[in-house]
Structure 1
Amino acid sequence: MHPSLITRERGLSLLDRALEHKLTLVSSPAGFGKTTLARQWVAERSQQSHFPPIAWVSLDGGDNDPVRFWRYLITACQVFRDSVAREALALLQSISQPPFEASLTETAITIFLNGLAQCEQGGILLLDDYHAITSPRIQQTMTFFLAHLPASIHIIILTRSDPPFSLAQLRASNELYDVRTSDLRFSQEETSAFFQQTLPIPLAPEIVRRINTYLEGWAAGLRLLLIALRESTTPREIEPLLSAFAGGQLALQDYFLTEVFHMQSESLQRFLLQTSVLDRLTGSLCAVITGERDSERMLETVAHANLFLEPLGCSTFDQSSTQQWYRYHGLFAETMRTEARRRLGEESLRTISAHASRWYEAHHLHAEAISSALYAQDYPRAAALIERILREPQAYYQANEYHTWHTWLEQLPDTLLAQYPALCLGYARALLFRADSWLLTQTTLTLLEKLFQMAEESYRVERDLPRLGEVFAFRSLAAWRQDDAIQAAYYARQALAWLAEEQHTWRALSLGVVGKAELLYNGHVDISRKVLEEAYALCEASDHRHLRLRRATGNMLSRAFFEQGELYRSFEYYQRTLHKAREEYAHSDDLAYALFGLARISYEHNELETAWQQAEEVLGIGLSLEKEFHEVQATLLLARIQHVRGETAAARQRLDALLARIPATQSNPTWPLAREILTLRANLALADGDLVTVQRWITALDRPGGLLFPFMAEQEVLLLARWHLVQGRRETALQLLQDLLREAQAAGRRRSIFEAQALLALVYAAHGQQEQAQQTLLTLLAHTYTEGYLRLFLDEGEAMAVLLRSLQLHRHEQPFLSSLQSIIRAFPSSQGTLPPSPVALLPEPLSSQELRVLHLLVPGRSNAEIARELLVSINTVRTHIQHIYRKLDAHNRAEAIEIARQLHLLS
């Protein structure tokens, strides 16, 4: 321990309580001894055999990149257990990041958390200078990390201000322990002990009291005062010193210069000024920039002179080096840099940074080499170094540090960027994935287009078509971010024409854009399925490299299967995506899309409780993310379930409450969502007999089905057809449905075909066209019975039930027959009425005499025996049997008897 340090048992005991809590927050302004106390605590407690291992991470402003932040943190935690970070680091460092998402840090964090859970001894992770972290993305991931932290791991954060992530939940559950400024202030006893230990002549108690009153227990002030008191120990000499210290930070900076800095030798002053531009210092680096060969000894001298130089060790910054690393205390460093600019000049400081950049490059510290080159305004060198990150696989992971990437590239002149098309795309990537919202600002769009143009011109000159394909794939992504699906698909198709087969990332991305546009915007289900299957195969073959892209493509492919009417295959892919999303801690968007897809399938299978639970989870995600799309889709499904359960009033209230938050004006971006709400609201009103509400819906729409996504438009057309059917305008309803069927069949929208066919059968039945109604329904059943459809039929009510029962008169093979009977059994019994008799279900009921003949056929009676039993002629019996065959659609006795049994005509 440094001679000027005293053992602060009170402070050490406060930090001991970190083992009782998930998070310990040590928060105070600069200079209150947070880091010093923590280092003392670590040094002392580490000697105890039973004490958990401690990982220390010192942070600065350059660590605001999420990938870099977590890489440092995970690496430090290897002291807990050798293998704790291996898999997570491999993921961060080897992933060829798709431009489809900003980072895969969530996945790495989940893997890391799993590793931490295996640490038998537990561990303590200490984050110093956390106030330097301002990235919202890092705060989000820290919130998740703390929420899922194993009980055996404890976090200590040293900071000048409280972190921006929520602490309320941690406080409420007693998982947070606060150490504040008042806890860190030196007591009068500690102040007295400090000076007794460090001064050759003891101070009078009254002077100690006055010092403590002036400085209010400020540790940095005590250290500064100590330097001055070595020459001044009388009350008269001490008085002006105390007055200077009461003047605040500017006065302290003056004191740093006059009483600390100027008291040093000329060579040491020059050393301090030259090295002040460095964030972290080590002997060989200082030797390069100062020309001082014995810089290692110089650093040790500065440290022993108590000139605010803090040791960092070597593990945090450069594990391959055995040299000691240091950094200056923040207040001292600020003062020295200001003085260096005044005395040495900016040009000299830039020269120093240029030397530092070359040293960093030689020691494979790429980020530091680039930052120093940029400070030196050596932009060609900086550009070349940045491009090297793209070329060298071992450094490629740094290309995914978007915050860092953006900070570097925005400093390069356009004339230089134009010479490096790869940097133009790197800059574009950083702009896309640092944006706070999905929609990009006009300023960002303008800059993106300039970057795309520079890259395109360069690659066209080089005739590098694969790279040109990357430019257009990027353009496609930017257009999609602006909800311009047509332009996005155009760029994606052009990209696919140029991209090489081995450019899997870009091909998968471009195929995904084309597939999504074809599905959602054009409604071409068959085309989209084929394209999405190809994209998904590329993602599957890439293992870890395209996790988010694979999940997004998997969700969209599942939707394509759903729209093709393949419920079980859709379920399989949604379930696979959901499993991966939970396993990899996917972005909640992916969870929500997969869950909602499964909820729709559960609803279609009439598994209402499961559908309700899934939709509720989607709603929770939507509300937490403030994503209106998820909130609306989940609410629509919940309202449908309420209606099915007979809670129509509650369902309509739910929709009205949602409409109050979603503006229903055509100029608003949420208009398509509001229109979906209005359509379901009108559907429920129609089922409830509220024709006035439906009429208002029709009047309010410019044209039902117009200027909408195909699937949304079809829902409006179906509702309009129902409205005309209720109003007795059956021909109009018929025409609407036939037009819908024709368009849906051309595009492969089989689920839409099924919905139209179900309603079409009811229109035919209402026309008295029983045979056409039955044939339409038989066609529908033939395509759906293997997929477990129930709500498709149940939602059409009793009219559909009657029509389905009439189909039992036809000959059916298993398992078709079982499926038909399952659908019929799923219908609720009509309230207040008995179900229709089996005979009434027949298009032409059997007469009482024909029923008698039918009963006598069962035991195998001959025509003559039946004639004798009924006292009629044999010819009359033959006539009755022919009538029975015709009415039951049977060809012989065996078939007639089997159909009669199915219709319960023999009971």
Structure 2
Amino acid sequence: MLLATKFLKPALAPRSITRPRLLERLAGGHAARIATVIAPAGYGKTTLINQWCASTDTERKVAWFAVDSYDNDPRRFWQYFIGALGQEILPPQELNQRLAELDERNLDAIITAIINAIAELPGNYALVLDDYHSVENPVVHRQVGYLVDYLPPHFMLLMTSRTEPPLPLARWRVRGWLREVHASDLAFSEEECAQFFGDYMAMSLSAESIHQLWRKTEGWAAAMQLAALSGPHGSATSQQDIIRYGGHQKHVSDYVLTEILDQQPEDVREFLLTTACCHRLSPALCNVLLGTDDSASRLEALVKANLFIIPLDTSGYWYRYHDLFREALCARSCRTDPAGHAQLLQKASQWFLEHDHFHEAISHLIELEDWDWLAQVLEQHGNNLIHEGYHLNVVNWLDALPQGYADDRPRLLMIRVWGLFFANKLDLIEPLLERLEALLGDQAQGASNGYSQDANPPDDHALDLHSEIALVHSYLARMRSDLDSATDLTRDVLRDIDHTDIPLKSVTYYGIGLDSFARGDLVSARQALSSAIEHGKREKRHSTVLSSGGLMAWILFYQGEMELALETCSTVRSWVDSFHTDTSQPQMISCWQNSSMTQIYRERNDLELARTYLNPLLEHVTQGTEPGQHIVIQYVRAHLDFSQNEYESAIAALEDAENVLARKGDAILFEPPSLEALRVRCLLGLGELDKARAWADKVNPERYRNPINREQVSITVARVRVATGEPERAIAVLNPLRLATEKGEHIKHLIELLAVYATALAALGRADDAATMLERGLKLAARDGFTRLLYEEGPALAKIYRSVEPTGLNPGWVRQLDELLLEQSSPQISVKQPATAPAESDLLEPLSQRELEVLALIHEGLSNKVIAQKLDVAPTTVKAHIRNLYGKLGTSSRTEALAKARGLGLLQ
């Protein structure tokens, strides 16, 4: 007698999360013969197949066979296989009789009989083999492979398994017979995680809580459900319960140990428990921990078995366990053999240190609470880690030391100073510097301060620390806008540095570069920053090289040398990345470099690419960054929004930057770009002429220290004068400014100045003079590809451009500028007019094919996000297409655009 429950599909929860993308993949096509869903325990394999059964067309009958370890016997396996068919598909009597007549050696005949019986049936059918990993008998695997090879096209086999079955999947994949779903596919997205807790578990969680749980569980459905059931009484009653218990609770640990670990062979359990102490694994490290030489093949076997292990590269060298899986294993290892677990951590720490993987080594030392060893590692490597961009990590590691442990260790105090400096916690630095100078003074006098001789640096290293202290004082002087003191201190360090062993020249030259930039001396700044990059590469100061290269690119941008700026960024980025090949560590990001790249590509009218360089910086704005960087990022963000006619968004970013400047201006090393100048350009774009005129009447450009900012303000004043019908006053502002921009080699501003000057001359009726002035600007702009700043002067400049013959200029650049200026259909800087719908003949530029596609999808009522998914583009790209649609149609909303498109016959 067969067990009837093995043929019952599990009850489908009415609120279970539907996975349309996966159901569509399982559906396959007419050629599909087998679908596999392979993932570790608790990933929702059975639920997905069950949903497929419920969603499949009514003409397809589906049978279910819940496989278990007893089905390793071939005869039993095929008895239940036939029994499953008998529930929904065909009468089993004849097949059962045939099976009873066959001995073990001739069971293949029953498979042929099954295939023939299915082939004679009308309609479409499917059979589910749930938990196929329970089968280990190679005879059964061979027979199932034979079955699939000869299945008729109207029958499909679906299989769930925790491991990849030893079936000829590669052959079926090539023939197009196979549909596959893996753990990475089954892992819930953050959106699906929110849907799971909201719809399935009926819990209201904040977006931040959802994000934390999603990152912790990595989309593992079972872990999410266990987190929801993790309260003290078997269910989480609040959001706090979820976060408190989620990922660490006994529920998850018990599930891992009983459902996964205890089901493994003894040698696999030993390997897992021994290596789980490490966040990352390599064959060499595992060999050290286990005292063996076969870890490479062991790790490959774990991957094949889907035992919650994730390859981190394509070479098979680095792996990691799923965090919750690893934590459960570590908990058992600590509980059963705490001394052995500590020895494993010590071995791992030593191995990571020997191979220069300091992050992992330090995390193990903190877990061991070996403070002396940790202090030695930080004293030896902390400075380099800070300058490689890991200052926040170093501060956190120092905080892990017992309170007061580092107070009498000068080197650790200096490392903390640098870490806090780069973390922008400047208010904490002065007391540390005072204590450090007192310690060094006592040491020089031979006084005893109660610390061990081992804790003090040797006397011949005291000068190193004094030089570092002087360098920090110079940066603090910059923050107080005391540039003279800052320069004197920096040059003192530069003079004394040849007598010290610690490499500081790169940081010192970077400080000189900042001083020169603050004064607007771009030539001297470039020289100093070039030295900072050169010495930084020798000293392997990654963050200094990246920041110096980024600031250099920013300066080159204003000097009109965009090609050299791009080359500088590319060279510096490649050099830094050559040392950061570990994908598990965050990529170093430079505010200056990404901001420069954003500005360059914005100026070259590649707004989408510009946005990709800006996006990584926005996280720093939300999570907190140094005030000067915060302002630069928001300025660049606003400038990009301005270029996309999103004036309100630009003003919001500028207001945020102005608030930071008002609160923390004293802590900024340099004078930020003129926020008010860009804000007024936005006001002009919005047609707010009265506000713009009021600003121009009262602003004093001379209050800016940096001549670049003075020029930005003055050019904007001239723009306002032209826009408000006062071109003579604009020329009065521009005449003296022209010589200053030429002398300072501020080519970008010189191009802008000439463009605004041309519009002022044209407003006075001096067309020939305006054309001559614009021609001078075009020659400068063509050299490195400036386009947006010309376009953004609006239709007035476009009209002048039509009268100019741009001979002797780069033809490609001229064509690009032609597209922008000659076909410019709406003013960018003018009084805002009410939107009016043009007749079809009035459209100066027809809609592109992609814009027509976007228009059709808008007509379907789809959101920007859905449109982006359908077109496989970024949401920002969709927004850009919609803005273009509005401009070409002369509308300002979706409703107006659709109405006008219908009137023009663009929509049915």
Question: With structure 2 as the length reference, what TM-score do the two structures score?
Answer: 0.48
TM-score calculated relative to the size of structure 1 = 0.48
Higher relative CO (Cα under 8 Å, sequence separation at least 6) belongs to: 1
Which of the pair has more CA radius of gyration? 1
